[in-house]
Amino acid sequence: MKTAAAPVVRQHIAGEWVDSRNGRTYESRNPWSGEVVAVVAAGDQDDARAAIESAHQSFAAWSQSLPHERQSVFLRAADIVERRRAEIMALLARETGCSRYFGDIQLDFTLSLLRQSAALPYASVGQVLPSDQPGTHAMAVRRPVGVVGAIAPWNAALALTGRAIAGPLALGNTVVLKPSQEAPACGALWAEIFTEAGLPPGVLNVVTHAPGEASLVGDELIANPLVRRLSFTGSTATGRRLAEAAGRHLKRVLLQLGGQNPLIVLDGVDLDYAVDAAAFGAFVHQGQVCMCARRIYVERSIADDFSERFAAKVASLPLGDPLDPRTVIGPVINQWALSTLSRRVEEAVAAGARVLAGGTAQPPCYPATVLTDVPDDIELAFDETFGPLVALTVVEDRDEAVERANASGFGLTAAVLAADSVQGLEVARRINAGIVHVNDQPVNDEPQMPFGGTKDSGWGRFGVGFMVEDFTELQWVTTRDTKRTFPF
C-alpha cells in the first residue's frame, strides 16, 4: 500500500517558490507519530540575502500604496484563513502537536489580528507640533522603516508568526520571515495566504533553514544594512544573543522572550473556579506557551483544599494524539524537550520536591505534572521550563506571595485569583510584570493589547497600534510661509 509523498516546502522569495540555493533539504516531522509532515528547503545566508534584496526592492511601491489597497489585502487574508480553518488546524496539530483547544485560540486570534491590522493603513501618521519660531509650521510624521526581519517561534506557529508580520506589513514595511525549524510549513502557509490575498511579490519573503542552522539566516538579518528592524519571539537566551549582535549594528529589536509566570491564589476565591483556571493556565498546549503559569502560590488557609482538587483535576487531563478532539495534553515538540522535562523533574525530586500529579514521561508526551516543596536553587524553580510542569508553593499570606512572585528574573505575565477585583488589584499593582490578569489565568492575548514583558522577558510591545513605535520612523518636518531672518 503506497503512502502519499510528503509535500515540499520551498523558500518564498520575490513572489516565487524556489529551492534553497545550496540544494539541501530536511524533513519536518510530526511530534506525535514521527511521520514526515514536509520536505523543507534548508536555506542559508545566500537565500536570506536574496530575500532581503527582494524586500528592499519592493519597499518603495508598497510603502506608497494607498490605504485601501493595503486594507483590502488584509481583509482578503482573513477570509482565506477562515475558509481554510479546518486545514490549518490539522497542520498545526501535525507539525506542532497543537490540540483543538489551542488551535481554536490561535485561529480566533489570527482572524482578529488580520481584521484589526486592516485598519492600520488609515491610522494617524503624525501630529502638528507648536513652534516658537514665528512663521514655522512643525509636524512629527511617522514613516515605514523599510525591511523588517521577523523571527518567529514554533509553539504558536500561526498566531505568533502572524503577529510578527501583520503590523509591519500593514504599516507599509516589507518583511523577511524566518520561521522556526520546527514549524516551517506553518511559516510558508503565511506566504500562501498573502499571495492569494493579493500581496505584491517581494513584500513578504520566507526563508527556511535546517535544524541547528538558524544563525545562517539570523546573522544575515542582523548584519545586512538593508534590514532596518528586527522582531523576535523566543527564548531569553537566544534573545539576549540576538540583541547583543544587533546592538553592534545599531539595529532596533522588538523582543518577546520567556516567562517564569506566577499565579497567586488568595483566600476567599471560588476554589472550583481557581482550580479550572490554574489547570488551563498551566497546561494549555502542554505548557508550551510563554504565558503559561510556571509557579502557583496559594495562601496556607486554603492550600490543602486547593492542592487536593488541583492535583485531581490535573491527573484527569486526557493525554494523546493532538488530532483526537478529546486530547488536552499532546506531545511535546521533540526528544530534547522531553529529556529536559524528565531531567528537571528528577532533579527536583532528588532535592526534596514531591510529585502531586504526573511526573513520569509517556513518550512522546509528558503528562501534566504538579510538584510541591520545590527548592529555590534548582532549575525548575528559577528557569523557564517549557512544558507541562508547574510548581505549587504554600505561602503564609499575600505579602509573601508577591515577594516570591517578584523574586524571578523574568517579568512577562502574572495572574491573581482573589475574592473580588478590589483585593486582586491591590495585589496586582505590586507585581513586577508587563501583564497582570486579575481573576483570570495568565494565558491571555488579544491583537489590540500591549503585549510584552519586563526584565529578562524582553522589551517593546506587540499589539495593533502599540507596535507603530517600533516599526515606523518618527520624522520632524517643518515648513515656513514667510522668509526667516538670519543673524549673518
- pLDDT tens-digit series, residues 126-180: 899 999 999 999 999 999 999 999 999 999 999 999 999 999 999 999 999 999 9
Give the separation between CA 471 and CA 482, rounded to whole angstroms.
35
pLDDT surpasses 60 at 368: yes
pLDDT band at 3 (very low <50, low <70, confident <90, very high): very low
Q: Which residue, chain included where needed, has cell 494617524?
A: 124
What percentage of the chain reaches a pLDDT higher than 90?
Answer: 97
* Neighbour count for residue 183 (Cβ, 10 Å): 28
pLDDT surpasses 70 at 432: yes
pLDDT of amino acid 4: 57
C-alpha cell of residue 302: 486554603
Give the separation between CA 187 and CA 161, rounded to whole angstroms.
7
Give, in order, the Cα–Cα distances in Å from 479 to each of 64, 108, 139, 319, 486.
22, 46, 9, 66, 16
C-alpha cell of residue 167: 503590523
Task: Give the burial class of 166: count Cβ atoms within 10 A of its Cβ; 0-12 exposed, 13-18 middle, 19 or more buried.
Answer: buried
Residue 350 neighbours by CB under 8 Å, 6+ apart: none
CA 317 to chain centre: 25
Give the separation between CA 427 and CA 440, rounded to whole angstroms.
14
pLDDT band at 1 (very low <50, low <70, confident <90, very high): very low
pLDDT of amino acid 5: 75
Q: Is the bond preceding residue 322 a cis peptide, omega within 30 degrees? A: no
Model confidence, pTM: 0.95
What is the average pLDDT value for the chain, to the nearest integer?
A: 96
Give the separation between CA 306 and CA 315, rounded to whole angstroms.
14
Give the separation between CA 209 and CA 293, rounded to whole angstroms.
31
User: Which strand ranges, in their side-by-side order, compose the sheet holding 261-265?
Assistant: 354-357, 369-372, 389-395, 293-299, 261-265, 413-417, 435-438
pLDDT surpasses 70 at 324: yes
Residue 426 neighbours by CB under 8 Å, 6+ apart: none
Comparing 121-125, 306-310, 474-478, which segment has the lowest mean pLDDT?
Answer: 121-125
pLDDT of amino acid 125: 84
Residue 186: which of 322, 83, 93, 78 has the closest Cα? Answer: 93
pLDDT surpasses 60 at 437: yes
Mean pLDDT over residues 288-301, rounded?
97
Mean pLDDT over residues 253-272, rounded?
96
Give the separation between CA 354 and CA 348, rounded to whole angstroms.
8
Q: What pairs with residue 205 in β-bridges? A: 176
pLDDT of amino acid 465: 87
Give the separation between CA 51 and CA 74, rounded to whole angstroms.
22
- State pLDDT tens for residues 201-258: 999 999 999 999 999 999 999 999 999 999 999 999 999 999 999 999 999 999 999 9
